A and B are shown apart, each in its own frame.
Chain A
C-alpha cells in the first residue's frame, strides 16, 4: 500500500513538486543560515584554534572572549611557570594596530607576538619564506588573505616594507591562516618586536600560553593556576567555548539568524502544508474508495505519513544539497561569506524537516481519517 501512496504522490507532478519545494526551501534556508552562523562563530575562535601546541591559555580574570584583551604584567609569566604541573609557559601578544603602507595609506591589522625563543604559536601554513626568518630584524609574516586585501591583484612579493607605530616592518613570509571575525590582515612577529609595534602601554602581555606536565590533566593545571595566581586559566577547548558563548549571549547575531531560520521553518511548513492538504483533498475520493474496499484507517495513516516522509526526504536532500553547493561556492572565494556545515547542522535541519512534514501532514491525516468511505457512492 505504501507503494500505492508513492505512486499517488508522484502521479500529481505539480502538487508533488509544490510540496517538495516547500520542504526544500525550508531545508535550504535552515541549513544555509545555520551554516553561515556556524561559520561566523568559527571565525570568532579561529585565532585560538590556529595556535598549535599549548593547551592552556592564561589571561586576566575578567577576559570574556579572545578579542577582549586585558593586558597583564610581564611578570605574570614567571608566576605561571611556578605553578606545579606547568611544564612550560611562554608569552603571547595579540592586539590591533594601524599600519602605514608604502603607498601612504593606512590599514588596521591584527598583530600577533610570538615568544622570541621558541616562536610557540607560529602559523603552520607558511608557503613563502620561513618561520625562522622572523628572527631577522623588523621581520613580520602576513596571512595570505591579508596580503590580497592590502595589495589586491599583485603578485606575492617578500621584502615589502610598512610601518606600525612609526617602526619599520619588513615582510619576510606569507602564511595560510584562518579568517578572523574582523577580517583584518594578520601579521606575526616576535614578542619583543610586537610590543614595539603596538601602542605604548604599561602592561602589554595579552596571554600566557602554557603546557601541562605530561600525565597531568590540563583542566587540573588550569585550576591550580587560577588558585595560585588569581588569573583566569582555560584549556583551548574551554576558551573556544567561552568565546562562542560570549558572542551567543552578548551579540544579536544568534537572534538574527534564529529569526531567519524560524521564518524558513514557518514558510516551508505553510507551503508544504497547504499544498499537501490540497493534494489530499484532490485525492479524497481515492482515499474514500480505498477505505470502502477495506483499507484500514491505520493503513491510510501510514500511507499519508509515508507520502510526507517521502517528500521530506527528497526536499531535505535537495535543500541541504543546495545549501552545500552554496557553501562550496562561498568557500571557493565567490563570496566573502563564512560557511561551516558540521553534522549538527545536518541533524538539526533533518529534525526541522521532520517537524515540517509532520505538521504539514496533520491536516491531511485528519481529513483522510474522518472521510466517510460512503463518499464514493455520492455523485
Chain B
C-alpha cells in the first residue's frame, strides 16, 4: 500500500458533491445473522459512497464484513437496517422481482472461484448474462466472442473451463461480467487464486475496460499487490469502515 495515502477517517463522501454523482451510497447499514445467543453482527453501521468512474477496493481481515457489504451493494443480500442506493435505486425498498431484474440489467459479477459453468465453453459462459436477458443464443455468443477477443482469449472461445488456466478462467469471468454493459461491477477476490502476473493482468483489464465515467467498480480483495489499481481503498474492521484512503491508480 505504498502508493496509497490516508485522506480521511469516517467520511464516506470525499469526492462526490451530489447523490447523483454516486453509483453507490450506503448509510448506516447493519447486518445481523442468527438470533438470540447465536446472533452475529456482520455489519455495524456502514457508511460508504462510490462515485461513478471510480474503482473502490474493500480490504480488511477475514470476517470483517467485506463480503457481506459487497453482497448488499450487489443486491444479493438484504441489510438488517440502513439505506442502500445503487445507481439511484433504493435496494432496501425494492421488491425481490425488481431486484432480480436490477441485477440482471445493471450489475456484473466477478467471483473468487470464477463460478463458470463447467459444461459451457468460454464463449457460452461469457454469454450467460445475455442469455439471462433473453438474447438469442447465437447473438449472445457472438457478442461474448467479441469481448473475449478483446481480453486476449480469441483462440480459446471453444474451450471448456477445465481446459483453461486460472488466469484464462478469470478473464472469461470478467468477460461474462462485462458482456451486458453493467453500470456496477462487483468483484470478489478476483486475484486471490492467481499468481502475481495473472493477478496484475486481471486488474489491468478490470481497470481499463470496466472503469468508465458512467460505471463504478467495487473490488473486495486481500491481495495487497493490486491495491495500486484502486482509486480509493476502504479498510474494514469488525463490521464497519475503519478508514478510506485515496490511492494513486496505475
Which A residues fall within an 8 A CB radius of B?
1, 3-4, 7-8, 10-12, 285-286, 288-297, 299, 372-374, 376-379
A295 to B97, CA, bound (A): 10
Q: Mark B114-136, 1 if CB is under 8 A from A, else 0.
A: 01011110001000110111000
Residues from chain B with Cβ under 8 Å of A11 in the complex: 117-120
Known: A374-B71, A376-B109, A377-B188. A294 touches B104 (CB 8 A): yes
Q: Using known A-B contacts A285-B115, A289-B115, A293-B104, determine if residue A4 contacts B128 with beta carbons closer than 8 Å.
A: yes
Least CB distance, B199 to chain A, in whole angstroms: 17
The one of B71, B102, B115, B137 in contact with A3, judged by C-beta atoms closer than 8 angstroms, is B137
A-B residue pairs, 8 tightest by C-beta: A294-B104, A11-B119, A289-B115, A374-B71, A373-B76, A374-B76, A294-B103, A374-B77
B70 at interface, CB cutoff 8 A: yes
User: Which of A7, A292, A293, A299 is close to B120, meaning CB atoms less than 8 Å apart?
Assistant: A7
Known: A293-B103, A296-B100, A378-B67. A285 touches B131 (CB 8 A): no
Interface contact A4-B76, CB-CB below 8 Å: no
CA distance A190 to B60 in the complex (A): 103
Q: Which residues of A contact B115 (CB under 8 A)?
A: 285-286, 288-289, 376
Q: Which residues of B contact A290 (CB under 8 A)?
A: 128, 132
A11 nearest in chain B by CB position: B119
- 9 sampled A-B residue pairs with Cβ under 8 A: A4-B120, A7-B119, A11-B117, A286-B118, A292-B76, A294-B129, A372-B77, A377-B74, A379-B112
With a cutoff of 8 Å between Cβ atoms, the chain A residues found around residue B117 in the complex are 4, 7-8, 11, 286
Chain B interface residues (CB < 8 Å from chain A): 67, 70-71, 74, 76-77, 97, 100-105, 107, 109, 111-113, 115, 117-120, 124, 128-129, 131-133, 137, 188, 220
Nearest residue in A to B62 (C-beta to C-beta)? Answer: A379
Most buried by A among B67, B112, B128: B128
Contact B119 A377 (CB under 8 A): no
* B-chain residues with CB within 8 Å of residue A374 when the two chains form the complex: 71, 76-77
Contact of B100 among A3, A10, A294, A372 (CB under 8 A): A294
A12 neighbours in B (Cβ, 8 Å): 119
A373 CB contacts on chain B under 8 angstroms: 76, 103
Q: How far is the CA of A322 from the CA of B60 in the complex (A)?
A: 61
When distances are taken between beta carbons in the complex, the residues of chain A under 8 Å from B132 are 1, 290, 293-295, 299
Could you say which residues of chain B place their CB within 8 Å of the CB of A289?
Answer: 109, 111, 115
Across-interface contacts of B113 in A (CB, < 8 A): 285, 379
Min CB gap B87→A, angstroms: 14
With A290-B128, A372-B77 already in contact, the answer to whether A10 and B119 are too (CB < 8 A) is yes
Task: For A299, list chain B residues within 8 Å (CB).
Answer: 132
User: CA of A299 to CA of B220 in the docked complex: distance in angstroms?
Assistant: 29
Q: Within 8 Å CB of B70, what residues of A?
A: 377
